Amino acid sequence: MNLRRDVFQAIADPTRRAILVLVATHAMTAGAIAANFDTARPTVSKHLAILTECELLKQEQNGREIYYHLNPQKMKEIADFIEPFRKMWDDRFNKLEAVMKKYQTKK
């Protein structure tokens, strides 16, 4: 199993999440993306490579420049992935809260 291609692993990193937010509105070149971070350019390139590898980002050639844009379909996959897990716990905890409030009022 190649972990680098695991979408979930890809979004676990805060810098990569920030990149996804950046390109969410419009396609950007690697240079334009890197300009938003204090991190060294090669580090940003590495993040872009990982995001591209797992198809969260798509590359598009426009003249001499390569633009990165978001792959909404893959993003949806993630939302479908971690959000249900969070929701599962959220529901459980909501239930816990509701149950315990009952005990609280009994006092």
Partner 1 sequence: MELKTKVHAEEGKLELIVTREFDLPLELLFRAYTEPEIVEEWMGTKVLKLENKKYGCWQFETTDPAGNKHGFSGTIHDFVPEEKIVRTFEMENSGFGVQLEFLEFEKLTEDTSKLRMHIIYKTLEERAQYLKIGMARGMGLAHNRLEKIAIKFKK
* 39 lies in the site for partner 1, by CB under 8 A: no
Tell me the CA distances in angstroms from 68 to 9, 28, 74, one per residue in order: 19, 5, 14
* 9 lies in the site for partner 1, by CB under 8 A: yes
Q: How far apart are CA 1 and CA 4, in angstroms?
A: 9
Name the one residue in this structure whose structure tokens are 């695991």: 6
Q: How far is the CB of 60 from partner 1 (least distance, A)?
A: 26
Q: Could you say which residues in the range 74-93 bind partner 1, by CB under 8 A?
A: 80-93
Residues that bind partner 1 (CB under 8 A): 1, 3, 6, 8-10, 12-13, 80-101, 103-104
